[in-house]
């Protein structure tokens, strides 16, 4: 899911996941599998992740669904394909 432009509350919600991603990126650098990670830039990539136990997804109609995210609330999104299985991230 992508945070809407100007919605910076999402940045403060998941610092643990961001630190896990950074740790994994530097582990890949030290192992020689990748180059150094580039810093995030405002407005370029607003993606963030939640742990699956914290979100709830409900189907609104044939094309739209909504996800309840902690500290943000219900966020509508367009279904491009069916969500199968259990939502993890």
Q: Is residue 4 part of a domain?
A: no
Tokens of 40: 């995030």
Q: What is the mean pLDDT of residues 11-40?
A: 82
Nearest residue to 57 via CA among 41, 79, 36, 40: 79
Q: Is residue 89 part of a domain?
A: no
Is the pTM of the predicted complex or chain greater than 0.75?
A: no
Q: Is residue 62 part of a domain?
A: yes
Q: Is residue 3 part of a domain?
A: no
Question: Which of the four pLDDT bands, split at 50, 70 and 90, describes residue 10?
Answer: very low
- pLDDT tens for each residue of 36-85: 888 878 888 777 777 666 778 888 998 899 988 877 889 898 988 877 77
Q: Is residue 65 part of a domain?
A: yes
Q: Is residue 67 part of a domain?
A: yes
Nearest residue to 14 via CA among 77, 70, 59, 63: 70
Count structural domains, the chain: 1
Q: Is residue 86 part of a domain?
A: no
Residue numbers of the domain that contains 19: 13-39+52-78
């Amino acid at each position: 899911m992508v945070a809407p432009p100007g919605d910076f509350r999402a940045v403060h919600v998941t610092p643990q996941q961001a630190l896990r991603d950074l740790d994994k990126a530097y582990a890949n650098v030290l192992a020689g599998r990748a180059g150094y990670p580039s810093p995030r830039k405002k407005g370029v990539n607003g993606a963030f992740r939640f742990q699956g136990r914290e979100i709830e997804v409900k189907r609104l109609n044939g094309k739209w669904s909504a996800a309840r995210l902690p500290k943000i609330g219900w966020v509508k999104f367009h279904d491009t394909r069916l969500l199968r299985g259990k939502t993890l991230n």
